Structure 1
């Protein structure tokens, strides 16, 4: 124990108070003398599993030194990465201005020791309570054999990472009051999926919205372009109002819809304007996959493929189209779901039932392996550096050859999309013109929006819309879309990624002037999981 620290045992609870910071550990001493042999005093190189006593003592030593707050280097010596740990522990008081902390451990489970922290954040005469829970794990040193805390930034705070730091001070940007298109306030508490979006909107447009900064504790990233994540507000400052293109009613429906499936995402866009109406995710990692995800979209990509084949005159909605059970292209075999085939069918039937082979059989007839990437870019605006107003990925259909090019025809291989991209594809199909999705009006900052080289030819667009309508009426999208009225169309998709046991579920559809797309990782058939999510969002619009 550090000299100068006062030690007491009160009702079987071990307490250390030093430097105004306390560490209270529920450590029932059970008749022992309570002495702790630190790793530095032991010359024995131990091996094998850790004993409960080693776990308890190591956690006790580290938490005591951390709570003391006077010697970060000492606290770091009880970890297996002291060089890094020292700076993080030091920043806890020096940069985050956290003081008067009481750290209380819970019952250890094996080598894991959970604990809670109750503290105060103080900055220039302002103060506010801070409380959170975290845990540490004790491991045996690889060379020393000593029990040590397995260092990770989350030991100090559960939201810390290797590239972030806890900082308290005057906020760099004023807070915002984000509102939807009708003036309804949008908050992370009411719409959890919007948390990362609202953080970015504040960082980018806080000053333009006319507010004044307050004092906060936040996560500061090494990446200057990454948004700050506010953890505690000591003084709010004054919020400026920022109008978004979102619709609170549709956003609420999106939030509820994704909750029904784990790892689900959805986005909705107005075809007539490109305005993003809703974006929601239900993910363990909190990642905004709806706008930033990059995955194979499965057969939803057949909308783009069909547009290219129609433009080249290789197919027609009512013309015959072969749909065998399997097809071999340059050594790569492709098959339909459950190896179904369609005898004497039309291209509309192949589209509506999502026949893979009908599309791949035509790749040689295009006489251009790069025809699909060109269609995706020139007509649907994919890969054109979208400036939505927040961070987003704009889709990717790289040039490919052979079996790789064939896989792209059915949304596999190197095709990378998120649900915002696919919602935009559907919006372009519905309207006939690519309108780059935006979440705040362009006039807010006069940013340059992406513009496609050409429109979807009228006859091609009409056939595409009709095929999507048939898909919703009797094809693979029938069940999901059955409860919707108006002018409606759909396309399903299932994407196999990295050999996973169950494919990812994809679905996209339109109803009047609203287009939406959803994905559910390991959700299976497109109509089973992603379909109901899209239908719920369209119904709210």
Structure 2
């Protein structure tokens, strides 16, 4: 008996070999001996085989432990650093995508000597620093940037894995994008303002994406020669969002060609200062009579001013008013209903603070931004009435603007019932950005739609978008009267104080689900300038976007 016990004890201390890795069981706990993995989840996967291993595996649940997060992150980063792509990809929840991008990182982007240094985890997120070398032919440059990964439980078995996205490899990448080093597909450009001064993102921070767009469109046409660079190459998803390629590292300089823009250096500088004073603010200034874009600025990195897609709120009532006046459903100086509530399509609509106007004119309802004055006309409109008005008169929603850089050209989809009614006040499915709404104000001021542009069509012979018809003289006159009244006495009066008499404006507040305050909108014209701005989650447009727009209109130009 004693002999059998000693044999069993000796057998209990024999090492178990798992997948070529030696594991020693001591005191009932398994400790993995391995060169690559740093412990945690990876080590747990290499414990000694027991009878339980032959049972149906249990799906792990519950929050990730610190050991699981650090172990998984270390496994991925160590394998990537050592060039063991398949092993690194196996630690993610999308091995195929990870393998493709990590392989391209070395072979297409020519990045070598990678050193990855993890930082302090925060929950499942692990930041890390990247240092490497980019080499193309006889040109070499160091590369350094910060990135992060997130560890999650895999749905199938609960195993901790890296939640795979292209941004893990580089924060400038979206899923489907890749990295490439080589002679740039497009030569660099030197963008200049309307007076010939060079435009740079260092001086004008808002112009980063604009300059990228100018290079993409005009690099091959401006007479420059290509250099060597590490750059992003956008995938289909990014292209659909009109995101431009981006240079991440310049290994050797090309010779830039010159592209002249319509931007005003004084207005651009002022616009930068204005948006810097408020978070999530965007603004555009145009010349009403021509469509020239004189300034564009955003306080965030995304170009909301050109590419944003937001409900415009009551600024859309300019377009709706032109429709109602043309159809004889409203007239500026005639009495028009503004009840406290109006129900249509099963939705009950109301005004801000539930106000109502008894016996007031349509102009008064417009100036005070009465929602029900517009909603009440929904039963007398066709489902596509607003869509056709926006397209035919204001040039919106046809995806055919050719500005010179990528833009979103507004969307006014055909809707029915309650969503159609909501679209009359700039909610529902209507989506705009400051460029679109500046163009709306400019159309009222000039009397006809002029497609906004940043680069003259004479540079490349492209065709600018046009509207199929203009408003009648009577409709235009009433619309100008209403916008002028709003700027002088309505919700826009405080912001537009002292800018009259040749001015007009409209405020807007757009509710967003899950957002405490609405997006504040403001669009206006003064003289030959038209502008629009939005402050997301800022509150009422007259108080937020209004001062930004008015300050720029006050400068003239």
What range describes the TM-score normalised by the shorter chain of this pair? 0.7 to 0.9
RMSD (CA atoms): 2.8
Decide which of 285, 309, 321 is 1:294's aligned counterpart. Answer: 309
Asked if structure 2 preserves the Cα contact closer than 8 Å seen for 1:177 and 1:242, the reply is yes
Instruction: Name the residue aligned to 2:390.
Output: 376
What SS does the corresponding residue of 1:379 show, helix, strand or coil? helix
Larger CA deviation: 211-220 vs 367-376: 367-376
Alignment partner of 1:190 is 2:207: no
Alignment partner of 1:396 is 2:411: yes
Alignment partner of 1:97 is 2:110: yes
What SS does the corresponding residue of 1:519 show, helix, strand or coil? strand
Aligned residues: 509
Q: Deviations over 1:215-259 (max 9, x none)?
A: 000111123775211111111200111011122222222222223
Q: Displacement of 1:142 after TM fit?
A: 4.9
Q: Deviations over 1:235-291 (max 9, x none)?
A: 1200111011122222222222223333332222111101111222233xx332222
Alignment partner of 1:253 is 2:266: no
Decide which of 161, 175, 191 is 2:188's aligned counterpart. Answer: 175
Matches of 1:389 and 1:538, distance apart in 2: 24
Decide which of 41, 46, 68 is 1:41's aligned counterpart. Answer: 46
Alignment partner of 1:133 is 2:133: no
Instruction: Name the residue aligned to 2:437.
Output: 422
Matches of 1:293 and 1:98, distance apart in 2: 34
* Larger-gyration structure (1/2): 2
Asked if structure 2 preserves the Cα contact closer than 8 Å seen for 1:389 and 1:439, the reply is yes
Asked if structure 2 preserves the Cα contact closer than 8 Å seen for 1:300 and 1:411, the reply is yes
Q: Deviations over 1:386-409 (max 9, x none)?
A: 222222222232333443333222
Decide which of 204, 210, 228 is 2:223's aligned counterpart. Answer: 210
Instruction: Name the residue aligned to 1:10.
Output: none
* Cα 1:487–1:124 shift into 2, 3 Å: same
Larger CA deviation: 226-235 vs 323-332: 323-332
Matches of 2:346 and 2:87, distance apart in 1: 63
Alignment partner of 1:77 is 2:82: no
Asked if structure 2 preserves the Cα contact closer than 8 Å seen for 1:294 and 1:416, the reply is yes
1:416-495, aligned counterparts within 5 Å? 416-482=431-497, 484=499, 487-495=502-510
* Cα 1:407–1:55 shift into 2, 3 Å: closer
1:303-452, aligned counterparts within 5 Å? 303-329=318-344, 331-364=346-379, 368-384=382-398, 385-452=400-467
For structure 1, the 5+ residue unaligned runs are: 4-17, 28-33
What SS does the corresponding residue of 1:258 show, helix, strand or coil? helix
Asked if structure 2 preserves the Cα contact closer than 8 Å seen for 1:141 and 1:148, the reply is yes
Instruction: Name the residue aligned to 2:127.
Output: 114
TM-score, L = length of structure 2: 0.84
Decide which of 240, 245, 249 is 1:228's aligned counterpart. Answer: 245
Asked if structure 1 preserves the Cα contact closer than 8 Å seen for 2:40 and 2:68, the reply is no
Instruction: Name the residue aligned to 1:13.
Output: none
Asked if structure 2 preserves the Cα contact closer than 8 Å seen for 1:39 and 1:146, the reply is no
Instruction: Name the residue aligned to 1:31.
Output: none
For structure 2, the 5+ residue unaligned runs are: 1-19, 21-34, 50-56
* Cα 1:57–1:339 shift into 2, 3 Å: closer
* Cα 1:216–1:300 shift into 2, 3 Å: same
Q: Displacement of 1:205 after TM fit?
A: 0.8
Matches of 2:114 and 2:330, distance apart in 1: 71
TM-score, L = length of structure 1: 0.86
Matches of 2:375 and 2:497, distance apart in 1: 30
Asked if structure 2 preserves the Cα contact closer than 8 Å seen for 1:39 and 1:147, the reply is no
Q: Deviations over 1:449-491 (max 9, x none)?
A: 2221222222322222222121111210011112535622110
